[in-house]
Amino acid sequence: MKEQINQLMDVVAGFSAQTAEELEALRIRYLSKKGIISELFNDFRHVPNDQKRDIGQLLNALRDAAQEKYSYLRTEIEARNCVSEQSDMTRPADPVGLGTRHPLSLVQNEIISIFSRIGFTVAQGPEIEDDWHVFGALNFAPEHPARDMQDTFFIEKNPDILLRTHTSSVQTRIMTGQQPPIRVLCPGRVYRNEAISYRAHCFFHQVEGLYIDQEVSFADLKQALLYFAKEMFGEATRIRLRPSYFPFTEPSAEMDISCNLCAGKGCAFCKQTGWVEILGCGMVDPNVLEACGIDPQKFSGYAFGMGVERITNLKYQVKDLRLFSENDVRFLNQFQ
């Protein structure tokens, strides 16, 4: 038997298989329950006692060598088949070009980066919201005419559930979930039931900011927005704040920047005024703080919101908002 085992060791060392079928045939012949090696173990009981130790060690070595060689061949065949399956010979010879980030993502990430440098963190929230977080907590009375400012998509059969019209709903969730100091930036997609044209779309993107702490003033708001404008559009950028109205801020303002195309001298883009509106802002209304469980006698804060598409238009002079959502590769390739 010793001589037979040594011969089989040479056979195992020379095992080769090019296909899974050939490998399976080797396994059945040598390693199966009725294979050659199993038969040798059955014959082992007839070996004289003085030889059992040496023969047993040889048998174990033979079995281990056969199993190791089988595993090696199986791994080799599987790897070869995997490469073969991944190789698509019908693909064109030219390499596939790399893509780029969408222009809205580029601008949104830049906005987040600017405000993160002055302590703002990012907060996210659901796009399908309830009426209280979108309107009720933000000082919109049930019959308030300001609700008509935002033509809303309501979920059918449940008028209390809607697609958020602004990311201010994230701010209400933050305010009801924690106490000041709060300094968050809320980016995301919002929805309004508007006719689609080169100037408007039924969905777009916003970035809103909220800062609440003790003794926060309008001067703090102005300084933060001036810093943002200079970082985004250049050191020479000027800002101006015009009185406005929002239900959730008091006082409220619209912020303009000096036109970055004509340097404030007047052109077609800024309608010869030298100024371009980019965002709305104001001090958080005490009623909003109180509705969200924050003491308006102790804390104050400011909020602002801007459309990402609006900022992207100013930065890249994109004339048609529909280009942002049509996935035209010719348009997207300009931002590589």
10 assigned to some structural domain: yes
* Domain match, 225 and 269 both: yes
Q: What percent of the chain stands above pLDDT 90?
A: 38
pLDDT tens digits, 139-157? 887 777 656 656 788 887 7
Give a yes or no: residue 97 inside a domain.
no
pLDDT: which is higher, 57 or 172: 172
| pLDDT (0 to 100) of residue 150 | 61
Answer yes or no: is pLDDT of 88 > 80. Answer: no
For residue 91, tell me if it sits in a domain.
no
Do residue 175 and residue 312 come from a single domain? yes
Domain identity same for 53 and 142: no
Same domain, 142 and 280: yes
Q: What is the mean pLDDT of the chain?
A: 86
Cβ atoms of 301 and 283 within 8 Å: the answer is: yes
By residue range, what is the domain housing residue 17?
2-86
Q: Quick one: which of 263, 244, 238, 260 has its CA closest to 305?
A: 244
How many Å apart are CA 89 and CA 75, to the nearest integer?
24
Predicted pLDDT of residue 87: 62
The per-residue pLDDT for 45 is 77
User: Is there a single domain that holds both residue 69 and residue 145?
Assistant: no
What secondary structure letter does DSSP report for 154? Answer: B
Q: Domain check: are 82 and 113 in the same one?
A: no
In this structure, the answer to whether residues 143 and 58 fall within a common structural domain is no
Question: Are 127 and 266 in the same domain?
Answer: yes
Q: Is 127 helix (H, G, I), strand (E, B) or coil?
A: coil
In a domain, 140, yes or no: yes
Q: Is residue 25 part of a domain?
A: yes
CATH for 300:
3.30.930.10
Q: Where are the alpha helices (DSSP H) in the chain?
A: 2-13, 20-26, 36-43, 52-86, 103-116, 131-134, 168-177, 218-233, 286-291, 308-316, 329-332
Residues 163 and 285 in one domain: yes
Higher pLDDT, 225 or 90: 225
Q: What is residue 315's DSSP assignment?
A: H
Residue 304, classified by CB atoms within 10 Å of its CB into exposed (0-12), middle (13-18) or buried (19+), is: buried
In-domain check, residue 92: no
Of 86, 116, 137, which closes a domain?
86
Both 145 and 72 in one domain: the answer is: no
Alpha-carbon gap, residue 262 to 313, rounded angstroms: 15
Beta bridge partners of 255: 241, 279
267 shares a domain with 303: yes
Q: What is the pLDDT of residue 70?
A: 80
Could you read off the pLDDT of 317-328 as tens digits, one per residue? 887 888 888 888
Residue 98 domain-assigned (yes or no)? no
Residue 243's alpha-carbon distances to 182, 207, 246, 252, 254, in angstroms, are 25, 21, 10, 6, 6
Query: What Å distances lie between residue 171 and 122, 182, 330, CA to CA?
Result: 11, 10, 37
Lowest-confidence segment of 1-15, 24-38, 112-126, 242-256 by average pLDDT: 1-15
Answer yes or no: do 227 and 142 share one domain. Answer: yes
Q: Residues in the chain, how many?
A: 336
Per-residue pLDDT, 25: 85
Number of domains the chain contains: 2
Contact call for residues 62 and 12 (beta carbons, < 8 A): yes
Domain assignment of residue 93, yes or no: no
Among 23, 53, 86, the domain-final residue is 86
Peptide bond into 181 cis (omega under 30): yes
The pLDDT tens digits of the residues spanning 108-143 come to: 999 999 999 999 999 999 999 988 888 889 988 777
Buried b (16+ CB within 10 A) or exposed e, 78-108: eeeeeeeeeeeeeeeeeeeeeeeebbbeebb
Last residue of a domain, one of 51, 86, 121: 86
